[in-house]
Structure 1
Protein backbone atom coordinates (compact mmCIF):
# COMPACT_ATOMS: atom_id res chain seq x y z
CA UNK A 1 0.00 0.00 0.00
CA UNK A 2 1.32 3.40 -0.99
CA UNK A 3 0.22 6.41 1.00
CA UNK A 4 1.39 9.91 0.15
CA UNK A 5 -0.48 12.61 2.03
CA UNK A 6 0.86 15.85 0.61
CA UNK A 7 3.99 16.94 -1.22
CA UNK A 8 4.59 20.59 -2.02
CA UNK A 9 7.32 21.66 -4.42
CA UNK A 10 8.18 25.09 -5.72
CA UNK A 11 8.92 25.49 -9.44
CA UNK A 12 12.53 26.50 -8.78
CA UNK A 13 13.25 23.40 -6.69
CA UNK A 14 14.23 19.87 -7.63
CA UNK A 15 12.39 17.09 -5.82
CA UNK A 16 13.78 13.62 -5.33
CA UNK A 17 12.02 10.68 -3.72
CA UNK A 18 14.07 8.08 -1.88
CA UNK A 19 13.05 4.88 -0.16
CA UNK A 20 13.57 1.16 0.12
CA UNK A 21 12.91 -1.22 -2.76
CA UNK A 22 9.18 -1.77 -3.10
CA UNK A 23 8.27 1.38 -1.17
CA UNK A 24 6.38 2.87 -4.13
CA UNK A 25 8.82 5.41 -5.59
CA UNK A 26 8.38 4.27 -9.19
CA UNK A 27 4.63 3.88 -8.72
CA UNK A 28 4.43 7.44 -7.39
CA UNK A 29 6.29 8.81 -10.41
CA UNK A 30 4.15 6.75 -12.78
CA UNK A 31 1.05 8.31 -11.22
CA UNK A 32 2.55 11.81 -11.43
CA UNK A 33 3.37 11.21 -15.11
CA UNK A 34 -0.17 9.92 -15.67
CA UNK A 35 1.02 6.44 -16.69
CA UNK A 36 -1.04 5.00 -13.82
CA UNK A 37 -4.19 6.30 -12.16
CA UNK A 38 -4.29 6.50 -8.35
CA UNK A 39 -6.90 4.28 -6.67
CA UNK A 40 -7.82 7.22 -4.44
CA UNK A 41 -7.03 10.91 -4.25
CA UNK A 42 -5.78 13.33 -6.86
CA UNK A 43 -2.53 14.68 -8.19
CA UNK A 44 -2.45 18.40 -8.90
CA UNK A 45 0.10 20.82 -10.28
CA UNK A 46 -0.23 24.39 -8.99
CA UNK A 47 -3.59 23.36 -7.54
CA UNK A 48 -4.90 22.20 -10.93
CA UNK A 49 -5.58 18.62 -12.06
CA UNK A 50 -2.94 17.08 -14.31
CA UNK A 51 -3.28 17.95 -17.99
CA UNK A 52 -0.99 17.91 -21.04
CA UNK A 53 0.33 21.41 -20.28
CA UNK A 54 1.25 20.58 -16.69
CA UNK A 55 2.85 17.28 -17.74
CA UNK A 56 5.15 19.26 -20.05
CA UNK A 57 6.60 20.87 -16.91
CA UNK A 58 7.70 17.56 -15.37
CA UNK A 59 10.87 15.62 -16.09
CA UNK A 60 11.05 11.90 -15.40
CA UNK A 61 14.22 9.86 -15.82
CA UNK A 62 13.44 6.16 -15.47
CA UNK A 63 16.19 3.66 -14.72
CA UNK A 64 15.80 2.00 -18.13
CA UNK A 65 16.03 4.59 -20.86
CA UNK A 66 15.97 2.49 -24.03
CA UNK A 67 19.36 3.74 -25.21
CA UNK A 68 21.68 1.75 -27.45
CA UNK A 69 24.73 1.46 -25.22
CA UNK A 70 27.17 0.57 -28.01
CA UNK A 71 26.30 3.66 -30.06
CA UNK A 72 28.21 6.92 -29.79
CA UNK A 73 26.43 10.04 -28.57
CA UNK A 74 26.28 11.32 -32.15
CA UNK A 75 24.92 8.04 -33.54
CA UNK A 76 22.28 7.90 -30.80
CA UNK A 77 21.13 11.50 -31.29
CA UNK A 78 20.98 11.17 -35.08
CA UNK A 79 19.08 7.89 -34.79
CA UNK A 80 16.40 9.42 -32.56
CA UNK A 81 16.36 12.59 -34.68
CA UNK A 82 15.62 10.47 -37.76
CA UNK A 83 12.76 8.71 -35.95
CA UNK A 84 11.19 12.11 -35.24
CA UNK A 85 11.68 13.48 -38.77
CA UNK A 86 14.42 16.00 -37.96
CA UNK A 87 16.86 17.17 -40.63
CA UNK A 88 19.97 15.10 -39.84
CA UNK A 89 22.42 17.75 -41.07
CA UNK A 90 20.88 20.31 -38.72
CA UNK A 91 20.78 17.80 -35.85
CA UNK A 92 24.47 16.95 -36.37
CA UNK A 93 25.43 20.63 -36.56
CA UNK A 94 23.47 21.43 -33.38
CA UNK A 95 24.85 18.48 -31.39
CA UNK A 96 27.84 20.32 -29.81
CA UNK A 97 25.57 23.18 -28.74
CA UNK A 98 23.13 20.81 -27.02
CA UNK A 99 25.88 18.74 -25.42
CA UNK A 100 27.28 21.94 -23.93
CA UNK A 101 23.87 23.25 -22.87
CA UNK A 102 23.04 19.94 -21.17
CA UNK A 103 26.55 19.60 -19.66
CA UNK A 104 27.12 16.19 -21.25
CA UNK A 105 30.59 14.96 -20.31
CA UNK A 106 32.62 13.45 -23.14
CA UNK A 107 32.42 14.16 -26.83
CA UNK A 108 30.14 13.11 -29.65
CA UNK A 109 32.31 10.03 -30.30
CA UNK A 110 31.93 8.81 -26.69
CA UNK A 111 29.98 5.58 -26.38
CA UNK A 112 26.77 5.73 -24.36
CA UNK A 113 27.93 2.80 -22.20
CA UNK A 114 30.93 4.87 -21.06
CA UNK A 115 28.83 7.79 -19.81
CA UNK A 116 27.59 8.22 -16.26
CA UNK A 117 23.90 7.46 -15.70
CA UNK A 118 23.27 11.18 -15.30
CA UNK A 119 24.60 11.76 -18.81
CA UNK A 120 22.28 9.09 -20.23
CA UNK A 121 19.37 11.48 -19.86
Structure 2
Protein backbone atom coordinates (compact mmCIF):
# COMPACT_ATOMS: atom_id res chain seq x y z
CA UNK A 1 0.00 0.00 0.00
CA UNK A 2 1.40 3.36 -1.05
CA UNK A 3 1.75 6.14 1.51
CA UNK A 4 -0.48 9.18 0.89
CA UNK A 5 1.79 12.17 1.17
CA UNK A 6 0.80 14.89 3.58
CA UNK A 7 1.62 18.48 4.33
CA UNK A 8 2.01 19.08 8.04
CA UNK A 9 2.65 22.31 9.90
CA UNK A 10 5.02 22.96 12.74
CA UNK A 11 4.22 26.15 14.64
CA UNK A 12 5.82 27.48 17.80
CA UNK A 13 5.60 30.54 19.99
CA UNK A 14 7.93 31.22 22.90
CA UNK A 15 5.43 31.63 25.73
CA UNK A 16 1.97 30.48 26.77
CA UNK A 17 0.41 33.93 26.45
CA UNK A 18 1.40 34.29 22.78
CA UNK A 19 -1.03 33.44 20.00
CA UNK A 20 -0.47 30.84 17.26
CA UNK A 21 -3.14 32.25 14.89
CA UNK A 22 -0.81 34.41 12.77
CA UNK A 23 1.41 31.43 11.99
CA UNK A 24 -1.60 29.23 11.21
CA UNK A 25 -2.87 31.87 8.79
CA UNK A 26 0.56 32.15 7.14
CA UNK A 27 0.86 28.40 6.71
CA UNK A 28 -2.58 27.82 5.20
CA UNK A 29 -4.36 24.50 4.84
CA UNK A 30 -2.44 21.42 5.97
CA UNK A 31 -3.28 17.83 6.86
CA UNK A 32 -2.01 18.04 10.44
CA UNK A 33 -0.63 20.69 12.82
CA UNK A 34 2.08 20.21 15.44
CA UNK A 35 2.11 23.17 17.80
CA UNK A 36 3.82 24.18 20.97
CA UNK A 37 4.26 27.14 23.27
CA UNK A 38 7.83 26.86 24.45
CA UNK A 39 11.14 28.62 24.00
CA UNK A 40 13.10 27.47 20.97
CA UNK A 41 16.30 27.23 22.99
CA UNK A 42 16.35 23.69 24.34
CA UNK A 43 15.45 21.21 21.65
CA UNK A 44 15.07 18.35 24.14
CA UNK A 45 11.99 20.06 25.63
CA UNK A 46 10.26 20.55 22.27
CA UNK A 47 8.01 17.50 22.24
CA UNK A 48 5.82 18.67 19.34
CA UNK A 49 8.92 19.06 17.18
CA UNK A 50 10.01 15.51 18.05
CA UNK A 51 6.48 14.26 17.28
CA UNK A 52 6.46 16.10 13.96
CA UNK A 53 9.82 14.66 12.90
CA UNK A 54 8.72 11.19 14.01
CA UNK A 55 5.44 11.52 12.08
CA UNK A 56 6.66 12.61 8.64
CA UNK A 57 7.37 10.06 5.94
CA UNK A 58 8.93 9.98 2.50
CA UNK A 59 7.23 12.54 0.26
CA UNK A 60 5.65 14.58 3.07
CA UNK A 61 6.19 18.31 3.53
CA UNK A 62 6.75 20.12 6.82
CA UNK A 63 5.56 23.71 6.41
CA UNK A 64 6.89 26.33 8.84
CA UNK A 65 5.95 30.03 8.90
CA UNK A 66 9.61 31.12 9.16
CA UNK A 67 13.04 29.72 9.96
CA UNK A 68 13.15 31.29 13.42
CA UNK A 69 10.06 29.30 14.41
CA UNK A 70 11.89 26.04 13.70
CA UNK A 71 15.25 26.86 15.27
CA UNK A 72 17.00 29.61 17.21
CA UNK A 73 20.52 28.80 16.03
CA UNK A 74 22.04 28.01 12.68
CA UNK A 75 23.39 24.70 13.98
CA UNK A 76 19.96 23.57 15.19
CA UNK A 77 18.34 24.73 11.96
CA UNK A 78 20.73 22.67 9.84
CA UNK A 79 20.36 19.64 12.11
CA UNK A 80 16.55 19.73 12.07
CA UNK A 81 16.34 20.29 8.31
CA UNK A 82 18.83 17.45 7.74
CA UNK A 83 16.86 15.13 10.03
CA UNK A 84 13.61 15.80 8.17
CA UNK A 85 15.10 15.58 4.68
CA UNK A 86 16.94 12.35 5.57
CA UNK A 87 13.48 10.80 6.00
CA UNK A 88 12.60 11.83 2.43
CA UNK A 89 10.36 14.69 3.52
CA UNK A 90 10.84 18.33 2.59
CA UNK A 91 10.82 21.49 4.70
CA UNK A 92 9.08 24.58 3.38
CA UNK A 93 9.68 27.99 4.97
CA UNK A 94 6.82 30.28 3.94
CA UNK A 95 8.32 33.67 4.89
CA UNK A 96 11.67 32.94 3.24
CA UNK A 97 10.03 31.22 0.24
CA UNK A 98 12.52 28.36 0.51
CA UNK A 99 12.00 24.60 0.33
CA UNK A 100 14.64 22.03 1.23
CA UNK A 101 14.53 18.34 0.40
CA UNK A 102 16.83 15.41 -0.16
CA UNK A 103 16.30 15.80 -3.92
CA UNK A 104 17.24 19.48 -3.99
CA UNK A 105 20.27 19.33 -1.70
CA UNK A 106 22.83 21.28 -3.71
CA UNK A 107 25.49 23.89 -3.07
CA UNK A 108 23.20 26.89 -3.68
CA UNK A 109 20.42 25.42 -1.51
CA UNK A 110 22.92 24.82 1.31
CA UNK A 111 24.26 28.36 0.93
CA UNK A 112 20.74 29.85 1.13
CA UNK A 113 19.88 27.79 4.22
CA UNK A 114 23.10 28.92 5.91
CA UNK A 115 22.72 32.58 4.92
CA UNK A 116 19.07 32.90 5.89
CA UNK A 117 19.61 30.88 9.06
CA UNK A 118 22.57 33.06 10.03
CA UNK A 119 20.47 36.21 9.56
CA UNK A 120 17.66 34.74 11.68
CA UNK A 121 20.16 33.88 14.42
CA UNK A 122 21.70 37.37 14.19
CA UNK A 123 18.27 39.01 14.45
CA UNK A 124 17.44 36.91 17.50
CA UNK A 125 20.72 37.91 19.16
CA UNK A 126 19.98 41.60 18.58
CA UNK A 127 16.51 41.22 20.09
CA UNK A 128 17.97 39.55 23.20
CA UNK A 129 20.56 42.32 23.57
CA UNK A 130 17.85 44.99 23.53
Q: TM-score scaled to structure 1, two decimals? A: 0.27
Q: Which has the larger radius of gyration?
A: 1
For normalisation by structure 2, the TM-score amounts to 0.26
Bigger share in strand: 2
- Larger relative helix fraction: 2
